[in-house]
A = this chain, B = another copy of it.
Amino acid sequence: MQSERKTQILDTAEQLFAERGYHATSMRDLARAVELQGGSLYSHISGKEELLWRILERAADEFHAAITPILVRDASPAEKLRQAVHAHVRVIAGNLDAATVYFHEWRFLAEPRRSTFLERRNRYEQALRGLVADAVASGEFREVDPKWATLLILSAANWLYQWYDPDGPLSADEVADRFIEMIFAGLQSQAEQVALAMVT
Name A154's closest neighbour in chain B (CB-CB): B159
Q: Does A182 contact B (CB under 8 A)?
A: yes
Interface centre among A107, A149, A151, A187 (most CB of B within 10 A): A151
User: Given the complex, which residues of B lie within 8 Å of A152, measured CB to CB?
Assistant: 156, 179, 182-183
Q: State the CA gap A156–B153 with chains docked (Å).
A: 8
Q: State the CA gap A163–B125 with chains docked (Å).
A: 13
Q: Does A73 contact B (CB under 8 A)?
A: no
- Size bracket of the A interface: 20 to 34
User: Given the complex, which residues of B lie within 8 Å of A144, measured CB to CB?
Assistant: 182
Main secondary structure of the interface of A (DSSP, over half): helix
- Least Cβ–Cβ distance between A20 and chain B, in angstroms: 8
- Least Cβ–Cβ distance between A107 and chain B, in angstroms: 8
User: Given the complex, which residues of B lie within 8 Å of A104, measured CB to CB?
Assistant: 104
Question: Which one of B23, B154, B160 lies within 8 Å of A23 (CB-CB)?
Answer: B23
Q: State the CA gap A160–B149 with chains docked (Å).
A: 13
Name A142's closest neighbour in chain B (CB-CB): B185
Q: State the CA gap A185–B187 with chains docked (Å).
A: 7
Name A185's closest neighbour in chain B (CB-CB): B186
Q: State the CA gap A152–B24 with chains docked (Å).
A: 30
